[in-house]
Structure 1
Amino acid sequence: MIDFAPPSFLLIIGAILLATGALSGLLAGLLGVGGGMFVVPVLFFLFGALNVPNDVAMHLAVATSLATIIPISVSSARAHYIRGALDTHLFRSWAPFIFVGAALGGLASKYVDGAQLTVIFGAIALIVALTMAAPKGPVIADSVPSSVLPRSLIGSVIGLLSALMGIGGGTLSVPILTLFSFPVKRAIGTAAAFGIVIAVPAVIGFVWSGLGVADRPPWSLGNVNMPAAVIVVVAAIFTAPIGARMSHAIDPTALRFVFSGFLFVTSIYMLREVL
Structure 2
Amino acid sequence: MAITGLDAAGIVELAMLLVGVGALSGFFAGAFGIGGGTVLVPVFYECFRLAGVPLEARMPLCVGTSLAVIIPTSIRSFRAHFERGAVDLAIVKAWALVIMLGVTVGSVMARYAPEGLFKLVFVGVAWAAAMRLFFAREGWRFGDDVPTGVLMKVYGFFVGLLSTLMGVGGGLFSNLLMTFYGRPIHQAVATSSALAVLISIPGAIGYVYAGWPAAARFPDVAALQWPFALGYVSLNAALIVMPTSLVTAPLGVMAAHAMSKRTLEVAFACYLFIVGGRFAISLL
The interval holding the TM-score normalised by the smaller chain is: over 0.9
- 2:254 & 2:3 partners in 1: Cα distance? 41
Alignment match, 1:140: 142
**2:146 partner letter:** V
**2:148 partner letter:** S
Alignment of 1:49-198 (within 5 A): 49-136=50-137, 138-147=140-149, 149-198=150-199
Indicate yes or no: 2:254 matched with 1:245: yes
Q: For structure 1, which segment, 258-267 or 184-193, has the greater mean C-alpha deviation from structure 2 after superposition?
A: 258-267
Alignment match, 1:226: 235
- Change over 3 Å in CA distance of 1:80–1:196 after alignment to 2: same
Alignment match, 2:207: 206
Q: TM-score, normalised by structure 1?
A: 0.93
Q: CA RMSD in A?
A: 1.8
- 2:84 & 2:268 partners in 1: Cα distance? 25
**1:2 partner letter:** A
Shift of 1:76: 0.2
Shift of 1:8: 1.2
Shift of 1:89: 1.7
Which structure 2 segments of 5+ residues have no match? none
- 1:265 & 1:246 partners in 2: Cα distance? 20
3-state secondary structure, aligned to 2:258: coil
- 1:232 & 1:128 partners in 2: Cα distance? 26
- 1:260 & 1:53 partners in 2: Cα distance? 32
- 1:106 & 1:255 partners in 2: Cα distance? 31
Which structure 1 segments of 5+ residues have no match? none
**1:169 partner letter:** G
Which 4+ stretches in 1 moved above 4 angstroms?
252-256
- 2:143 & 2:89 partners in 1: Cα distance? 21
Shift of 1:26: 0.6
Shift of 1:253: 4.7
Q: How many residues align?
A: 274
Shift of 1:88: 1.4
Q: For structure 1, which segment, 185-194 or 209-218, has the greater mean C-alpha deviation from structure 2 after superposition?
A: 209-218
**1:35-70 deviation per Cα after TM superposition (whole angstroms, max 9, x unaligned):** 101111111111112222222110111000000111
- 2:194 & 2:248 partners in 1: Cα distance? 16
Query: Any conservation in 1 of the 2:106–2:160 contact (CA below 8 Å)?
Result: yes
Shift of 1:259: 5.0
